[in-house]
Structure 1
Amino acid sequence: MQQKLTTTKLLQQLSDQHIQKVKLAITDLDGILRGKVISFDKFKSIADTGFGFCDVVFGWDAGDVAYDNATVTGWHTGYPDATAVVDIQTYRRIPWENDLPFFLADFNDGKGDCTRVCPRSLLKRIDQQAKEEGFIAFCSQEFEWFNLVDNSNELYAGKFRDLKPITNGMFGYSVLRASQKSAFFNDLFDLLKKFDIPLEGLHTETGPGVYEAAIMYSGILEAADRAVLFKSGVKEIGHRHGILPTFMAKFSENLPGCSGHVHQSLWSPDAKRNLFFDKKSKTGISPLMESYIAGQLYCLPYVLPMYAPTVNSYKRLVEGAWAPTTLTWAIDNRTTALRALPTGEKSTRLETRVVGSDSNPYLAMAACLASGLYGIRKKMKLQIPATTGNGYADKKNGVLPANLWQATQAMKESPVAKELFGEQFVDHFTGTREWEWRQFSKVVTDWELKRYLEII
């Protein structure tokens, strides 16, 4: 096991390298990195004690518009600083920024509301619960995303219409298309590895300009860190190639959506035995894994906004579009919500396919793990039979909420969600999703203008 880095050793190492500045970042509720560059002298003074970061990062939306329904922070509190604590174990260098030292931070000092609504802190609490119950959670996330020609001035001037993908045609697993943008393609693989985000694989997906990447598995907190930094890193690398990557769940109504599937397994405390695998079972699935699956299926309708957090998310969750719509599971079936993969002692795992590429990895993984642990804790039996054939047609156990408002109301009223994540987090998070729905609902869209302007 890799020895943990100490603050003293780290500061000495950076000092010996004559480092002048470092970059720090936290992740907001939408999974967006918010950060700053500070001098090395300043970093030395806050590496152990933390630093002040305006708590507005949990009080505004992705467009920096302040919520009018938040109690954690707002105009009523004056948006004070909260204490963000640097996690020095997240230390890495940014290779496309002259190896600038980088660290993630979170709000986990236990003083104030930010601790209870911070996504990274929430995942840490769920991970600690797993450890206390005798499990080591391993995870990885895989992403699909569209890559567009980056011309920001034209995009804003044209109100984000007529976007051009970097390649044409529906060409999944294409060696040709990847070769045509080989400089970008290879930079993704190589620079992300240098940024301590190793990829298992990278390929084109079905759709113009679509790539898919699978991140190497790790402990769940590291997996979420990697996923957050992957999305930001892809955007930063893309910009240097004149490319605009987007992780919207549904970029175009005429093209497939983009997933952010989460793979997960539970291991023994010494991390030597995969507890999801049972060689005596006909399927290879252990009773523990069955309870984990049962817990996820039971909780899924009440935690869906943590997997599908935007209005756009639900444009992806439609029948026949490679995204699940029903409360189903099966072995190696890509039409169900949960795909069990009992592929051997080392690799048996569960793939939660509901998760979109627009998800906040900390929240998505927290929801996966908490729901699975709920099933184990309650000794739930997997009473829903495995789907055979088309999961879209298997509606006997229920379907997913159809939009963000429905999903948010289900979570807001759910005692299960409050039990899993705490009442303050659920109240604040669902309030932010209600805000998101309200912002969308008041906008006059292009579809409305085309449909009604002339003939109504």
Structure 2
Amino acid sequence: MEIDDVVRLAKKEGVQLVEFLYVDNSGIARGKVTHVDHLKGRMISGIGLTPAMMAMNVFDHLQPIPEMTAVGEVRLMPDPESFRVLPYHPKVAAVMCDQISLNHEPWAACPRSFLKSIIRQAENMGITVRATYEDEFTLARLNEEGKHVPIDESLCFSAAGMVAGNPVILDIVSALKDQGIQPEQYYPELGFGQHELSISATDLLTAADNQVIFRETVKAIARQHGIIASFAPKPFVDQAGNGGHIHFSIWDKESSKNLFWDADDPLKLSEIGYQFAAGVLHHLKGLVALTCASVNSYRRLQPGSWSSAYAAFGKDNREAALRIASTFWGNEEKSMNIELKASDSTANPYLALGAMIASGLDGVKNKWHPGDYVDVDPGTLTDEERARLGIKKLPSSLLEALEALRTDSFFADTLGDLLFRSYTAVKKSEYDMFARHDVPFELNYHFAKY
């Protein structure tokens, strides 16, 4: 859509307020709001934002980054294509924004602009990317003691769990469809009160936008039902964690052919697919600092948790970080995709998707190969067997992941200096803050914020 199309649609739908949204380095959706009467002007000139906001951590503590202080301004510039009327928020719409410097160039710390740069990099290689998040979330209530308790204790995939979640899930599905997001599969998951809802794959930028919309929609609809929805990776220490798995495929820009598909390969994966997987695995120890982006993430990222604690790949191996997913019968080529399981919804999706795809493209450029695939749980292998197969354990804490991110110079080069420095500073500050508190504080804070 063009700007005038957005303005006409907003007025036709009775919109009064429009949220200009961005996602910060903590993975939190933030923004400013304009009245519809000023919408056209704001879409042309943007809304001012202090650079300091990208130095805020999840506690709203400003980190000491020289380029991100009270001095200066960037503009929130909306993407008309991302405009959505919010079905759960009367007379309100939202639009996703890039952060643009006053010289009219993308700001160096803008996550959405970073993802756009990776999309261009792929297109220069003749590649387009399709992706989607497969999100798990927990539905809970506050008890008399002010603690979060799951809405039920039904079993994994159980019909009883479907009944317990039915009213809120139906409204979530309806709200997503109203915003142009197509739900695909749903079921109650292993944890008490845990549910999984997948949506259709799209182009890479829309996939990141959809992840923001999805998270906000689920939380808002649950709130209307008197329920709290949380995407916290490990909301309860004794229950399964919430993943935000990324499914992705690469396509030939000219022929629209799925470049992952090879009918003659034992795993049905092409040579470029193996190269792409090798790039992700090669950089995965640092990459998880971006895809598993919170302190709480590493309670989930443990062996035996179906969350992929090892940098390995395999066909339908749900304990491997990269799972080559089985295709749909009758639609084999188009449905061929790879799933990154070492990912959750505390991540900024623009950074996570951008860094993951950049890692894969690095594997293609260098013609790397991932080695042998693994058809067992890597955690059941001995240290010697994993060493022989080149399987490395992923970081066990955010601090360890950040160190891997810093050690792998690929990420500083890929993200750029300011984005890299601001992200690592924010995340290190969050690690330090949670280290001063106990486990219940960590669980409750993540439950509420994510």
* TM-score between the two structures when normalised by the length of structure 2: 0.90
Equivalence for 1:378: 366
Q: Is the 8 A contact 2:243 2:341 kept in 1?
A: yes
Q: Is the 8 A contact 1:27 1:119 kept in 2?
A: yes
Equivalence for 2:447: none
| Secondary structure in 2 matching 1:115 | coil
Given candidates 70, 73, 80, the residue that maps to 2:65 is 70
Q: Please tell me whether residue 201 in structure 1 is matched to residue 195 in structure 2.
A: no
Change (3 A) 1:19 1:204: closer
Q: Please tell me whether residue 345 in structure 1 is matched to residue 333 in structure 2.
A: yes
Change (3 A) 1:445 1:175: closer
Deviation (angstroms), 1:176? 2.3
Deviation (angstroms), 1:177? 2.1
Q: Please tell me whether residue 289 in structure 1 is matched to residue 277 in structure 2.
A: no
Change (3 A) 1:372 1:445: closer
| Secondary structure in 2 matching 1:34 | strand
Q: Please tell me whether residue 191 in structure 1 is matched to residue 175 in structure 2.
A: yes
Q: Which runs of 5+ in 2 are unaligned?
A: 442-450
Q: Is the 8 A contact 1:148 1:209 kept in 2?
A: yes
Q: Is the 8 A contact 2:275 2:360 kept in 1?
A: yes
Equivalence for 2:313: 329
> How many angstroms apart in 2 are the aligned matches of 1:373 and 1:81?
33
Q: Please tell me whether residue 50 in structure 1 is matched to residue 46 in structure 2.
A: yes
Equivalence for 1:391: 378
Q: Is the 8 A contact 2:162 2:187 kept in 1?
A: yes
> How many angstroms apart in 2 are the aligned matches of 1:392 and 1:117?
38
Q: Is the 8 A contact 1:294 1:381 kept in 2?
A: yes
Q: Which runs of 5+ in 1 are unaligned?
A: 448-456
What RMSD over aligned residues (CA atoms) do the two structures have, in Å? 2.2
> How many angstroms apart in 1 are the aligned matches of 2:378 and 2:43?
50
Change (3 A) 1:289 1:445: closer
Equivalence for 1:368: 356
Given candidates 23, 27, 33, the residue that maps to 1:31 is 27
Given candidates 33, 37, 46, the residue that maps to 1:41 is 37
Change (3 A) 1:96 1:123: same
Write the letter of the residue equivalent to 1:53: L
Deviation (angstroms), 1:99? 5.1
> How many angstroms apart in 2 are the aligned matches of 1:126 and 1:424?
17
Deviation (angstroms), 1:150? 4.8
Deviation (angstroms), 1:287? 0.5
Runs of 4+ in structure 1 deviating by more than 6 angstroms, as ranges, are none
Write the letter of the residue equivalent to 2:376: G
1:180-222, Cα deviation, whole Å (9 max, x unpaired): 3422121011111112222111211012111101111100110
> How many angstroms apart in 2 are the aligned matches of 1:207 and 1:116?
40
| Secondary structure in 1 matching 2:83 | strand
Change (3 A) 1:266 1:445: closer
Given candidates 331, 337, 342, the residue that maps to 1:354 is 342
| Secondary structure in 2 matching 1:126 | helix
> How many angstroms apart in 2 are the aligned matches of 1:297 and 1:363?
17
Task: List aligned pairs for 1:166-177, cutoff 5 A.
Answer: 166-169=151-154, 171-177=155-161
> How many angstroms apart in 2 are the aligned matches of 1:184 and 1:13?
28
Write the letter of the residue equivalent to 1:141: Y
Write the letter of the residue equivalent to 1:8: D
Equivalence for 1:451: none
Aligned-residue sequence identity (percent) comes to 27
Equivalence for 2:446: none
> How many angstroms apart in 1 are the aligned matches of 2:12 and 2:228?
37
Q: Is the 8 A contact 1:136 1:271 kept in 2?
A: no
* TM-score between the two structures when normalised by the length of structure 1: 0.89
1:235-265, Cα deviation, whole Å (9 max, x unpaired): 1111100010111111111111111110000
1:24-71, Cα deviation, whole Å (9 max, x unpaired): 21111122111233112221112122221232320211121212x323
Q: Is the 8 A contact 1:72 1:114 kept in 2?
A: no
Equivalence for 1:452: none
> How many angstroms apart in 2 are the aligned matches of 1:430 and 1:290?
30
Task: List aligned pairs for 1:213-232, cutoff 5 A.
Answer: 213-232=197-216
| Secondary structure in 1 matching 2:347 | coil
Q: Please tell me whether residue 411 in structure 1 is matched to residue 405 in structure 2.
A: yes
Equivalence for 2:445: none
Q: Please tell me whether residue 85 in structure 1 is matched to residue 77 in structure 2.
A: yes
Deviation (angstroms), 1:110? 7.6
Deviation (angstroms), 1:113? 10
Change (3 A) 1:48 1:270: farther
Q: Is the 8 A contact 1:302 1:416 kept in 2?
A: no
Change (3 A) 1:208 1:217: same
Q: Is the 8 A contact 2:308 2:341 kept in 1?
A: yes
Deviation (angstroms), 1:301? 1.2
> How many angstroms apart in 1 are the aligned matches of 2:428 and 2:189?
33
Q: Please tell me whether residue 438 in structure 1 is matched to residue 432 in structure 2.
A: yes
| Secondary structure in 2 matching 1:311 | coil
Given candidates 302, 319, 323, the residue that maps to 2:303 is 319
Equivalence for 1:301: 285
Q: Which moved more, 1:302-311 or 1:258-267?
A: 302-311
Task: List aligned pairs for 1:418-433, cutoff 5 A.
Answer: 418-433=412-427
| Secondary structure in 2 matching 1:346 | helix
Write the letter of the residue equivalent to 1:163: H
| Secondary structure in 2 matching 1:35 | strand
> How many angstroms apart in 1 are the aligned matches of 2:374 and 2:38?
57
